Structure 1
Amino acid sequence: MDDMLPGMPARLFVATPTKLLTFADCKRRYRYTYLETPRPPKGPPWAANTVGAVVHEVLADFYGRWPASRRTPDEVVAKMRSSWRSEGFRDEVQSMDWRERSTSMVLGYLRDSDPYYEPRGVERNVAFTTERASLRGRVDRIDERPARDRSGGTELVIVDYKTGRRPLTPEDARSSLALAVYVLGARRLLHKPCTRVELHHLPTNTVAAADHDDTSLGRHRDRAESIADDAAAAEARWHEGLSPAQVDEVFPPEPSPMCGWCDFVRICPQGRRAAPPRDSWAGLDDSAPVAMDDAS
């Protein structure tokens, strides 16, 4: 950087996986999210995000804050109901329906859990650096389990909760840039072997798992650093000052059928032409049955 003293190391570009993937997916959305001041107006909150946020909050309490004596179905139900929010739902009826569905999901997921189990980390911040970037993120849960190589030691496992309606596969876990970043960050922070990543899909109560090796982690690290380099260069041009024409050259829209799900589609002409804005509750699977047999 021009404002740095000679001989000083280059400033690292700081990013999370979400930030990197936003740049890779749509540079205009990246500009709206991370650079514009004040930030342009977003659309309404998404009901599916509300479900995910509350479920993550309750699971973080269960594994990270509650003593074993509180890890009961009644406590889970009470926490789900006290934490529930109605942002993004069509109406109060739909919100209450999804409160019950979400409570059922969490109870089913925790049905066979050991109340005395203590993960190595819950909502744990991890980070690692490359030559040009500092990559960091927050892991839902880090388990420490007996090593599968029968060495007598232990290894770390990255656990990521998912509440979306699409079932997940081992390829989803293997191809996730975020999970790979978490592996590299957990290794650096906790100084333990870590290769396994797991997506815990609460709607189906299934686990999609994959095992990394140095080659696959290297590919993810290289990809992350490449995106970070491009994002850093674009940000440098932004801070130098861009004309209106240059703004769209450096941060172009990248319209696709996914634009209907973008927070900024209402102010993006190209996005609206690619896909109309979706209703804020469109991401919910309203065909799923309600099953509250374990709730009180």
Structure 2
Amino acid sequence: MTTGAAEQTTFAGMPTPLYSGSPSRLLAWLDCPRRYRMQYLDRPRPQARPQRAHTSVGIATHNVLRDFWDLPADRRTPAGVAELVRSSWIDVGFRDPEQSAAWRLRVRDAVTDYLRRSDRDNQPVGIERSVSLKTEAVAITGRIDRLDDRDGELVVVDYKTGRQVPTDDDARTSLPLALYAVAASRMFRRPCHRVELHHVPSGAVAAHEHTDESLGRKIAEAESIASDLRRADAEFKELGVESARFPPRTSAICSWCDFRAHCPEGQQMGPEKSDWAGLEAAGYDSAVTPPADT
């Protein structure tokens, strides 16, 4: 029997199965129940808009920072980074080839500067490492951008490429980072309390040192969201789009939503942003901030 990400087969007398999902799934529900429904529940899934340029920039940046650590030590140079940017570049969403080429150079320079400030001889424990965490209520899976070993303790590192420079408070309140820290600690059987947001364009590092108690509160937060999702998913299975649990949560972010074409309320929140509007907001330049970066 085939089941969805959040479904498991149950029989009479069995305990309630764990709610399975990712931190992104939990946060999508908090952002907008309607977008959550279209992204995770609707079948067939509504067609999402084409990828925007700032998303291409973010993905390419992450790919370069992933592949850099596979290079031999003698190729961890500016020339090696430039070749990775060239081979990893995603030419989607830009206004024209000239704009794409200009942004490729910006990313090359920003990543090179960021890596100059990094310890290139200290190989991370994991790069884009998949981790999982189970409690009595949830089974969370996700992927860590980078997992470092610093003096015997693990550190979770997440890359950011948007205009807004993250703060220590952003690191402290991040649900995904906290869940990744707990998952990494359990999987590697080593302490992991420190989480960091690395802003690639500026080189800024936002950090927080969790305690066991604060990580426990984050697990409880995830379980609370999952409890709401369990009820919402079950009602959708019964009622479909007629369920009242998935209202739109309108805001300025609606102008950036990938499912805006299927949401009349979202369309009332101002004109849709162009494919390249987010470039003005990417951390490599300036202007209005899009909803999130990769």
Deviation at 1:44, TM superposition (A): 2.2
Shift of 1:46: 1.6
* d(CA) in 2 for partners of 1:87, 1:38: 25
Show the counterpart of 1:134: 139
* Conserved? CA contact 2:68–2:84, under 8 Å: no
Instruction: Show CA shifts across 1:208-266 (max 9, x none).
Output: 11111122212211111111111111111122233x5x33x121111112111110112
Does residue 275 of structure 1 match 2:287? no
Corresponding residue for 1:293?
none
Residue 275 (structure 1) shift: 3.1
- The structure 2 residue matched to 1:108, chosen from 99, 113, 127, is 113
Distance 1:258 1:137 in 2: 24
Structure-1 separation of matches of 2:249 and 2:39: 15
Q: Which residue of 1 aligns with 2:102?
A: 97
Counterparts of residues 1-296 of structure 1 (less than 5 Å): 4-63=10-69, 65-146=70-151, 154-242=152-240, 244=241, 246-247=242-243, 249-285=244-280, 288=284
**Secondary structure class of the residue paired with 2:129:** strand
Q: Which moved more, 1:211-220 or 1:277-286?
A: 277-286
Task: Report what 1:150 is aligned to.
Answer: none
Structure 1 contact 158–179 (Cα < 8 Å) conserved: yes
The amino acid of 2:53's aligned partner reads: A
Q: TM-score, normalised by structure 2?
A: 0.89
| Deviation string, structure 1 residues 133-168 (Cα, Å, up to 9, x no partner) | 10121000010001xxxxxxx111100111001111
TM-superposed CA distance for 1:112, in Å, is 3.6
Write the distance in 2 (CA, Å) between the matches of 1:261 and 1:162: 18
Q: Which consecutive segments of 4 or more residues in structure 1 shift more than 4 A?
A: 286-289
What is the identity, as a one-letter code, of the residue corresponding to 1:256? S
How far apart are the structure 1 equivalents of 2:9 and 2:187? 31
Query: How far apart in 2 are the matches of 1:80 and 1:255?
Result: 36
Aligned mates of 1:183, 1:115 — CA distance in 2: 23
- Counterpart Cα distance in 1 of 2:173 and 2:47: 32
Q: Distance in 2 between matches of 1:213 and 1:117?
A: 26
Q: Is the CA contact 2:8–2:17 (under 8 Å) kept in the aligned structure 1?
A: no
Work out the number of aligned pairs and report it. Answer: 278
Where 2:206 maps in the other structure, the secondary structure is strand
User: Residue 117 and residue 3 in structure 1: after superposition, are their counterparts in 2 closer, same or farther (change >3 A)?
Assistant: closer
Superposition deviation, residue 2 in structure 1: 11
| Structure 2: gaps (5+ residues) | 1-6, 286-294
Q: Distance in 1 between matches of 2:43 and 2:92?
A: 25
- The answer to whether the 8 Å contact 1:84/1:99 transfers is yes
Bigger Cα displacement from structure 2, 263-272 vs 108-117:
108-117
- Alpha carbon RMSD of aligned pairs, Å? 1.8
Sequence identity, in percent? 47
Contact 1:136–1:181 at 8 Å: present in 2 too? Answer: no
**How many Å separate the matches in 1 of 2:14 and 2:156?**
35
For the residue of structure 1 that corresponds to 2:150, the secondary structure is: strand
**Unaligned regions of 5+ residues in structure 1, if any?**
147-153, 290-296
Distance in 2 (alpha carbons) for counterparts of 1:156 and 1:3? 36
Distance of 2:8 and 2:130 partners within structure 1: 32
Contact 2:193 2:211 in 1 (8 A): yes
1:48 offset after TM fit, Å? 1.2
TM-score normalized by the length of structure 1? 0.89
